Chain A
Amino acid sequence: MTAGHPANAARFTADEPRAHWHDQALWFVREKRDRAAALVPDWEALRDAAARIRAHTQGRLADYLEEFERNAVARGAKVHWARDAAEHNAVVHGILSAHGVRRLAKSKSMLTEECGLNPYLEARGIEVVDTDLGERIVQLAGEPPSHIIFPAIHHKREEIGALFHEKLGTPAGLADPKALTEAARGHLREKFLSADAGLTGVNFAVAETGGIVVCTNEGNADMGTHLPRLHVACMGVEKVIPRLEHLGVFLRLLARSATGQPVTSYTSHFHGPIAGGELHVVIVDAGRSRILADAAFRRSLACIRCGACLNTCPVFRRSGGYSYEYVVPGPIGSLLASARDPRAHASLPFASTLCGSCDDVCPVKIDLHDQLLARRRDLAVRRIVPLGKRLAMRIAGLVLSHRAAYEAAGRITRFLLRILPRALLYGPWNGWGRRRELPEAPRESFRDVWRRTRGAGRG
């Protein structure tokens, strides 16, 4: 059981300047995304196309995965299948230990975060170096990422300066982003040169070609896989796309949605191993086929992990990634977390105003807010919604089903709002009134006025 989003979010917002800073930083990205999208004349058509390709692929996922496997193997890659996180970790560890790997250079992969690969490998004596700058920052800080694209977005530059001073020996007080990046570069260069293997995520796996595509801005996936002879690439089953021609649709959407760039600085295509090396592709289910089997929620598997729904979400921007207590936060994270363990993440489907902004930025048009609503229904049916709330809704439903009861309840409420002393109205039980005034209650409801002025016999 987690602490729950409301309590975590209340803690985050308590430091209001920081919450505003977080909000502004991500709103800046959202606006950059808007400008980038506006420059593509057929942006909305592109989103439609991506959504259709994803829907089609989901309909025959097994076929495309097998096609991918055949073609990847034909190009010399080795393909492994993992049912869950434990199997994934064991497979990766098996490959690494068979090659005597002591140090692993790892580029960004939310899947390995989901599987808890780093601690698994570290416990078995393998040094794992996250080579994405943001990932390296949170790794040095001993934290999980707080955002799927900007893992260290919750840290201010001064905090990163202090961390680098402690861990990398940069001068105390150094907070210039460029200088800090240079320091990280020098530090990582040494790690790249001494790594025995490289591990990457997979943004897209093309069934038709058997190739995998990895997008980064720092070239760290390439650095990590070109020097060592061993490349392990980990992907969820949902990453496959049917044809090479579909790749263009997703690549045009991905970086624009994620950061507002036209394309990531590096889009690396791997077709088989490098000369004299090995390429292992680990394909992981870890609950995805269960989501696929659930018609109400399968569309959440279309996600390309761009993070646009996080950046646009007014709740995420003001509550921070950690408030979700799941590897993927924000609207899509709330769906994925509650699909995985509805009871443990029961507050997440409610961590939304259902404003729908996420649906409209999503490059693959996932109906995020409708699915959050569907998950709320699912939680209520399973009685995971707290009894008090279900009872309140039952009573409200009954009262509202009878006009006379409704009118009486309305009259009493308005009467109490008018006569109760402020101290009583605004007691600790009034969640509305902590920071807000209650509306002023009129003597007459609309229907009272209507009856008085236009009712039967008067009209």
Chain B
Amino acid sequence: MRVALFVPCYVDQLWPRVALATVSVLERHGVEVVFPEEQTCCGQPMANAGCAGDAAPLARRFLEIFGGFEAVVCPSGSCTSMVRNHYDAFLAERPGFEHLRKSTFELCEFLVDVLGVKALDGRFEHRVGLHQSCHGLRELGLGVPSELALPRSSKVGGLLSSLRGIELVPLARADECCGFGGTFAVAEEAVSCLMGRDRIADHVQAGAEIVTGTDVSCLMHLEGLARREKIPLRFQHVAEVIAEAIA
């Protein structure tokens, strides 16, 4: 299978190791990865600020660049959700949009839902806290959030727990938001930081060595707080954890 890799702009620029890990996870699963170099950004920052007019050209651009692929895979739940759940306003009725919407996947859901991966063949001997990033969890449905009166499940948690030697630590609040929230992180700096520090405290009390998740944005916020306070937690994107475990 041949897929297009969609790398969120800030991952491309600041966290290349996450995109490289994504490539290696996909290739280890027999997927041919193409990186369309014209790509820049999905437009989420503008859209979430309310500036739909500034996001619209980026959405159209995205369709042009990615519309022709069998599948698009992205190491971010939030950016994937932008395409799947928030592009309607810009692209509804455009030829190829329905296909793009249905065939754009977050990395873990691509592994589970498209490739049918039930368990990973790898070893990761660490105590890991899983941060359930909100857009992946609640907008993409990567798992069943704690609000719903339904049996808990998590595609990401399922993949991770299949690794030998891993210990997923139980959090007091399984899926509370970290407080990143895009421009919220700066516009509401006080609440954003308090939310983030509370999440960190939860992972620390649970005994995590490493915090992982589907979105670098959340991890970047949490890592920034932890580094400032010299809290010895490590932050790794789920692609990095999987790539390291199955290497």
Most buried by B among A319, A414, A439: A439
How many residues of chain B have a CB within 8 Å of chain A?
72
Asked if A431 and B16 make an inter-chain contact with CB atoms under 8 angstroms apart, the answer reads no
Interface membership of A312, Cβ < 8 A: yes
Tell me, in angstroms, the Cα distance from A438 to B105 when the chains sit together. Answer: 28
Given A40-B149, A350-B184, A352-B181 in contact, is the A445-B16 Cβ separation under 8 Å? yes
Asked if B49 and A439 make an inter-chain contact with CB atoms under 8 angstroms apart, the answer reads no
Interface membership of A355, Cβ < 8 A: yes
Asked if A431 and B186 make an inter-chain contact with CB atoms under 8 angstroms apart, the answer reads yes
Asked if A397 and B149 make an inter-chain contact with CB atoms under 8 angstroms apart, the answer reads no
B35 to chain A, nearest CB (A): 5
Asked if B50 and A376 make an inter-chain contact with CB atoms under 8 angstroms apart, the answer reads yes
Contacts of B17 in A (CB 8 A): 442
Within 8 A of B (CB), among A393-437: 393-394, 396-397, 400-403, 406, 410, 413-414, 431-437
Question: Quick one: closest A residue to B220, CB to CB?
Answer: A439
B190 to chain A, nearest CB (A): 4
Interface membership of B11, Cβ < 8 A: yes
Interface membership of A150, Cβ < 8 A: no
Tell me, in angstroms, the Cα distance from A37 to B86 when the chains sit together. Answer: 30
Asked if A406 and B177 make an inter-chain contact with CB atoms under 8 angstroms apart, the answer reads no
Interface membership of A449, Cβ < 8 A: yes
Within 8 A of A (CB), among B41-56: 41, 43, 45-55
Asked if B12 and A439 make an inter-chain contact with CB atoms under 8 angstroms apart, the answer reads no
A393 to chain B, nearest CB (A): 4
Interface membership of A9, Cβ < 8 A: yes
Question: Quick one: closest A residue to B52, CB to CB?
Answer: A377
Which of A11-19, A85-93, A94-102, A190-198 lies at the interface? A11-19
Contacts of A432 in B (CB 8 A): 185-186, 189, 224
Asked if B191 and A318 make an inter-chain contact with CB atoms under 8 angstroms apart, the answer reads yes
Interface membership of B153, Cβ < 8 A: no
Which of B94-102, B112-120, B140-148, B159-167 lies at the interface? B140-148
Interface membership of B138, Cβ < 8 A: yes
Binary CB contact string for chain B from 4 to 20 against chain A (1 if under 8 A, 0 otherwise): 00010101111111011
Interface membership of B154, Cβ < 8 A: no
Interface membership of B91, Cβ < 8 A: no
B246 to chain A, nearest CB (A): 20
B118 to chain A, nearest CB (A): 26
Question: Quick one: closest A residue to B226, CB to CB?
Answer: A437
Interface membership of B57, Cβ < 8 A: yes
Tell me, in angstroms, the Cα distance from A20 to B53 when the chains sit together. Answer: 39
Contacts of A454 in B (CB 8 A): 35
Asked if B147 and A360 make an inter-chain contact with CB atoms under 8 angstroms apart, the answer reads yes
Tell me, in angstroms, the Cα distance from A345 to B25 when the chains sit together. Answer: 46
Contacts of B177 in A (CB 8 A): 314, 353, 355, 357
Task: List 12 contacting pairs A-B, 8 Å CB cutoff, sorted by A.
Answer: A9-B190, A10-B190, A44-B150, A360-B148, A376-B49, A410-B13, A414-B13, A432-B224, A437-B225, A445-B12, A446-B11, A451-B37
Q: Which 7 A-B pairs have the closest CB atoms?
A: A353-B181, A376-B50, A397-B54, A436-B224, A360-B147, A380-B50, A355-B177
Extra contacts, 9 of them, besides A349-B50, A400-B9, A436-B228 (Cβ < 8 A), are A16-B194, A34-B146, A356-B134, A389-B183, A401-B40, A436-B221, A439-B15, A446-B11, A447-B12
